[in-house]
Chains A and B, each alone.
Chain A
Amino acid sequence: MYIIVVGGGKVGYYLAKELVEEGHEVLVMEKDPVKAERIAEELGDISLRGDGCEASIMEMAGFGRADMVIAVTGDDEDNLVVCQVAKAKFNVPRAVARINNPKNEEIFKKLGIDTTVSATAAILAQIEQELPTHPLIPLLTLKGGGLEIVEVKVPENSAVVGKRISDILLPQQSLIALIVDEDGVPRVPKSDTVVRAGDELMAVTRTENEDALRSVLTAHATFGPYGPIDSQGR
């Protein structure tokens, strides 16, 4: 396969090295002459100095015959443009982008980038699994309907402490299915069940409502749903 890697930092360097070892034809594009030189010295003549977003340079690099483009610069906006131009102008069959801000995954997917990789999201997922006190832990994805089962531990200062289930306004298509109290006693909640601090709630929600559900169940009683708000609205 002919694979073009855009961005010759640490990720790009080690990625290119592995791909070369696997026998692929690899080209690394890197703006910084020092980094481009280093790649050439250590991996052979596979680096091209230049801006991977500049169409004329992309043409020179052979984007037109590339089987795959992998954009791994440190800037999400550059990775997005590399992949979009690769697909729109050069018809590259597969484009993979590194994402630094995990929230950017949504826009990349919407704009047709097949695969996104986020180190931040991967580390976050690891932490979520290992720290039981993290506000919201995805337990299971129910694939068909885009539903998820999540676990939420109710913080002491949460606005829902002391409220009855029927008085909590949940996001659409969300429900609290099970409550396990601090002594580990499970209860199936009824409408008049009162939520207490430290309760663990198992809830079903739509994937896109995960954040909203988290806000409802964990937001501080004295603040807005997204935490403290300062005078400038930030």
Chain B
Amino acid sequence: MKVVIMGCGRVGADLAATLDQEGHEVTVLDANPDAFRRLRPEFGGQRHVGTGIDQDVLARIGVGEADAFVAVTQGDNRNVMAAQMAKHIFGVPRVVCRIYDPIREEIYHGLGLETISPTKVGARLIKEALEREPVTRGGGE
């Protein structure tokens, strides 16, 4: 699978490493060249400097031939715009978009984007952890 990841933060770099190890063809895009330091030295995919909300940049790095596009920059709006460009202009079959703001996430989910809100997911996981019976109390380190 050919995957383009926009945003080389912690999540982007981690996802890139995992997919690369599994043998996928990974391209990482970030506006800041320093961000690529987060990639491990053994990362075998491509790195490109540029903004993902520019059609020319997306075309140049081959989004048109990608099987999947992942938008995980720090900016919700940037993610939303790039994801919609990948989907509606370049026809990428699988597009996943991170949106921190739960309200915006719901709106764009309703508009047909595949969205993930780490805020919502994180809060739910923490709540579940609190509700779970403590298993190792007193027995751990």
Contacts and interface: CB of A to CB of B under 8 A. Distances in A.
A161 to B, nearest CB: 27
A80 B48 CA distance: 25
Interface residues of A, number: 24
- Say which size band chain B's interface belongs to: 20 to 34
Contact of B81 (A56, A76, A89): A76
Contacts of A89: 107
- Binding site secondary structure of chain A: helix
Contacts of A111: 84, 88
B6 to A, nearest CB: 12
Given A103-B55, A106-B89, A54 B101 contact: yes
A75 B76 CA distance: 13
A55 interface: yes
Contact of B111 (A88, A106, A110): A88
A223 to B, nearest CB: 15
B140 interface: no
A81 B80 contact: yes
Interface of B: 48, 53-56, 60, 75-78, 80-82, 84-85, 88-89, 101, 103-104, 107-108, 110-111
Interface of A: 53-56, 75-78, 80-81, 84-85, 88-89, 101, 103-104, 106-107, 110-111, 232-234
